[in-house]
Structure 1
Amino acid sequence: MSAAASANRAWFPGLVLHTIIAQATYNGVRVLISYRTLELGGSGFVLGLMTACYSLVPLFLALFIGRLVDRGYATAVLWIGTALSILPVALAAIAPNLAVLLVATMSLGLGQLLTTVASQALIPQSFPASQMTAKFGHLTLGVSIGQTIGLPMAGMVADATSGNTAITNALWFMTAVSALTLIAAVIVMLRGRTPHVSRAEAAEGAQTPWTLLALRGMKPAIFSSMATLAAVDLMTAYLPLIGEQNGLSVTTVTWLLTLRTLASVVSRLFIGSLTARWRNLSLLWTASAVAGVSVVLIPVFSQPWVLGVLLTVAGFCFGLTQPLTMSWVSALADPANRAAVLSIRLAGNRLSQVAIPSAASALTIVAGSGIVFTIAGALLVLAGGVTWRNEHERW
């Protein structure tokens, strides 16, 4: 094999490596920012504001970034996102007040948007349709690995440092970790340059968001993605409460959540084999429905082994739904609008992270914490039903 061919192949592993490091940074730093907020005198309201701003900024800029990527600027967007995955972490470490910390939080959220859109868009720009689901599976496998190692890594550094500087030291450590994305970004550059499209030329082929949303299958795909992400967030937030009510230790709950993440890693390892046996939409609606039933049953049982089975099944299904929806929306749009539809999907994810947990948490006041899992599971089952209908009927 020639050196040029080897370099051409190396860029995709570099992209997966970039994803692992970046996701480890986002997952670890977001928790550290919460502790930093409390150190600077922030209240529960301020914590909520930090969380909302992290998701709201990408919500408003997602489509604009997608249009830039569709014009051939994916690698430029990836570089800017890489910088905004490093500098805000250092800014959080030195933030003298909550206002500066809020800027750091918003910048990190923007960095995640930029790297995610660019990374996802490079796949349909580089591989044929027959390989997209497997490649998206590899990319989201990187997401799962990064999320798995990020929080423990940040926590261990914080725990190893005593005194008032523990969180600051952990933020500096995560800054150094995030800087490794620069090396991975250089490897991605081996892919070569994508030809740029002028603004006028891009405008000719660009479709409005409403036109893209009207594409048959677009709304079910986005809904499936939103339901999955909301379920993951709600499960992470409320399983500790369910565990406390059932007398489960913190260690047990942590291991249960780890089982869910590891199951997602396993499913993404084998997604290529699964999609070779079953149609993508059949696999998607089955995974959504099975995950929904598993999530609904979580507050019903208190035995750790039963909860472990439920979380493992749900995690395996979660690992399939995200890459399958990425592949679905990518196939719906023409090349001039593929990054745009991926951005709309990401915007839907961010909206779900703000709206669904807020609504579910309000209902816990009158219905108890179990209602959160009922809502999350019902949305997943509904998403499975909508996908099944899309596969079997012509709308």
Structure 2
Amino acid sequence: MARGVRAARPGAWLWFLVVSAALTQTALNLVRPVTTYKLLSLDADSVTVGLVTAAYAVIPLVTAMWLGRMTDRVRELRTMVLLGALVLALGSVALSVAPNVALVAVASALLGMGHLVFTIAGQAAIARHAPDDQLDQGFGWFTAAFSVGQLAGPLLAGALLGSGSTVDSPERLADIDLAFWIGAVLSFLAVPVLLVRARSARSGRARPRNDDDAAAADQAVPATGELEVVPGTSPQASMLRILRVPGVPSHMLASLALLAMLDILTAFLPLVGERAGVSPAWVGVLLAVRGGASIVSRVLLPWLAHRMSRRTLLLISLYGAGFTLAVPPAVITVPWLAAVLLFVGGFCLGLGQPLTMTLVSTSVPSSWRGSALAVRLVGNRVGQVAMPLLAGLVAAPLGPAGAIWSTCAVLLVSGLEKTLRR
């Protein structure tokens, strides 16, 4: 009886985590496209948009590994998830009141920190509670909630900003501020969702692994390649040790490229649309189509994973997204065609992120999983800093579409690396 109750708890925690993820990611994906329109109202150019987009990942870049180690040690991960939601709300408020580009960049960095804390704590909870054969399902539902936000957030942004007004009109500026405040409220709504669960499960908190647990996990899931783990004497996880595990750097490159594509689309598709005379409402619909396609792919991921290898699915993700997402900037004035291409590309993008989480998690000892996922996030944040800077530089001579094309090239390079690497 007690054993049955204990087995049910991780599933309940997962569903509360999924709901809170949908709320916070709706807020995030409402706020980030609107940030581009606020920058345009401040006379920012493509390079400035790239710099502010990079600022989103600067603080997370230097804190991700430390947070990952904390998730391996902390008893109650729910507190970290709650903190992430609150920092996201604070970042949205800061964006609303920021009077210039510099403070918009600072507020964007705060938003990125909130997203990192929420994401790394949620991933660590799944890696801690889910059996290996259910990791694809757990990460798939968690990232599907992110895709729900990537669908709902841009739709909401487009509805709020509408199709009229110039970029610096009082009406547009008022709509931008309203969007930021709605983003803050949505992030705050995630807090009671998790607090309700905290009260109902107070007597059954997850037990952190002690040294014996870690030793048993290491014996069950040994490390591969050069790194040898002796049961009961597992070395402390470090970035260098994790990166020495065969396959991990390759999985990180794929994850970096996939996440950078999401960021570049979110930041630069509104700029492409503005230059082409496409309204914010239509841009919101296009971004939402991309997010909706990722929901479909993540819901289907457990079914697909039973029929194809993870490596094959990841190659489909990288090549499919790289080729199809290069075309929408050139055909954005034909919305139905851009939407079809964004759906296909979004479906492919949606497959990749949960697969890289699973591949990184299963490449290392179980007691390292929180740290390994943090290293993966460090790689993601490197990409989120470097890729917008590169995209901004490419966009200067080629226009904002060049930013998207350069990121598609990185996706294809990652796919080629995995094709050549056995």
Residue aligning to 1:195:
208
3-state DSSP of counterpart to 2:56: helix
RMSD of the TM alignment (CA)?
3.6
Residue aligning to 1:185:
194
3-state DSSP of counterpart to 1:277: coil
Of 305, 318, 324, the residue aligned with 2:349 is 318
Residue aligning to 1:211:
241
State the alpha-carbon separation in 1 of the partners of residues 287 and 84 from structure 2: 29
CA contact (8 A) 1:154 1:174 kept: no
CA-to-aligned-CA distance 1:353-385 (integer Å, 9 cap, x gap): 221232233234445555444433332222222
Of 22, 27, 30, the residue aligned with 2:29 is 27
Residue aligning to 1:261:
291
State the alpha-carbon separation in 1 of the partners of residues 347 and 321 from structure 2: 8
Q: Which amino acid aligns with 2:149?
A: G
Task: Give TM-score scaled by structure 2 length.
Answer: 0.78
CA contact (8 A) 1:205 1:336 kept: no
Residue aligning to 2:180:
171
Unaligned 5+ segments in structure 1 are: none
3-state DSSP of counterpart to 1:86: helix
CA contact (8 A) 2:36 2:270 kept: no
Residue aligning to 2:11:
9
Residue aligning to 1:274:
304
State the alpha-carbon separation in 2 of the partners of residues 241 and 178 from structure 1: 26
CA-to-aligned-CA distance 1:329-368 (integer Å, 9 cap, x gap): 1111112221112112112222212212322332344455
Please say which of residues 297-306 and 326-335 is displaced more in the overlay: 297-306
TM-fit CA distance, 1:267: 0.6
CA contact (8 A) 1:158 1:169 kept: no
CA contact (8 A) 1:117 1:342 kept: yes
Q: How many residues align?
A: 388
Task: Give TM-score scaled by structure 1 length.
Answer: 0.83
TM-fit CA distance, 1:52: 3.1
Of 34, 48, 60, the residue aligned with 1:58 is 60
Identical residues among aligned pairs (%) = 32
State the alpha-carbon separation in 1 of the partners of residues 293 and 318 from structure 2: 15
Of 318, 337, 359, the residue aligned with 2:368 is 337
Gap change, CA 1:248 and 1:100, over 3 Å in 2: closer
Please say which of residues 179-188 and 332-341 is displaced more in the overlay: 179-188
TM-fit CA distance, 1:272: 0.6
CA contact (8 A) 1:231 1:377 kept: yes
Residue aligning to 1:385:
416
CA contact (8 A) 1:55 1:353 kept: yes
Of 117, 120, 128, the residue aligned with 2:120 is 117
User: Equivalent residues in 2 for 1:91-240 (5 A)?
Assistant: 91-93=94-96, 104-153=107-156, 156=159, 166-187=175-196, 189=198, 190=201, 192-195=205-208, 205-239=235-269
CA contact (8 A) 1:265 1:319 kept: yes
Gap change, CA 1:155 and 1:92, over 3 Å in 2: same
CA-to-aligned-CA distance 1:245-304 (integer Å, 9 cap, x gap): 877666555433332221111111110100011111111112211222223444666755
Residue aligning to 2:226:
none
State the alpha-carbon separation in 1 of the partners of residues 323 and 178 from structure 2: 42
Residue aligning to 1:86:
89
Q: Which amino acid aligns with 1:134?
A: Q
3-state DSSP of counterpart to 2:255: helix
Unaligned 5+ segments in structure 2 are: 163-169, 216-232
Please say which of residues 167-176 and 52-61 is displaced more in the overlay: 167-176
Gap change, CA 1:258 and 1:38, over 3 Å in 2: closer
Q: Which amino acid aligns with 1:278?
A: M
State the alpha-carbon separation in 2 of the partners of residues 169 and 193 from structure 1: 39
Q: Which amino acid aligns with 2:193?
A: A
CA contact (8 A) 2:82 2:194 kept: yes
Residue aligning to 2:389:
358
CA contact (8 A) 1:14 1:187 kept: no
Residue aligning to 1:348:
379
State the alpha-carbon separation in 1 of the partners of residues 50 and 110 from structure 2: 17
State the alpha-carbon separation in 2 of the partners of residues 46 and 301 from structure 1: 25
TM-fit CA distance, 1:55: 1.1
CA contact (8 A) 2:37 2:270 kept: no
TM-fit CA distance, 1:106: 3.2
Gap change, CA 1:97 and 1:291, over 3 Å in 2: closer
State the alpha-carbon separation in 2 of the partners of residues 92 and 352 from structure 1: 23
3-state DSSP of counterpart to 2:57: helix
CA contact (8 A) 1:295 1:376 kept: no
Q: Which amino acid aligns with 1:172?
A: W
TM-fit CA distance, 1:171: 3.5
Please say which of residues 349-358 and 370-379 is displaced more in the overlay: 370-379
Of 80, 91, 99, the residue aligned with 1:77 is 80
State the alpha-carbon separation in 2 of the partners of residues 246 and 37 from structure 1: 17
Gap change, CA 1:184 and 1:291, over 3 Å in 2: same
Gap change, CA 1:194 and 1:34, over 3 Å in 2: farther
CA contact (8 A) 1:78 1:114 kept: yes
3-state DSSP of counterpart to 2:208: coil
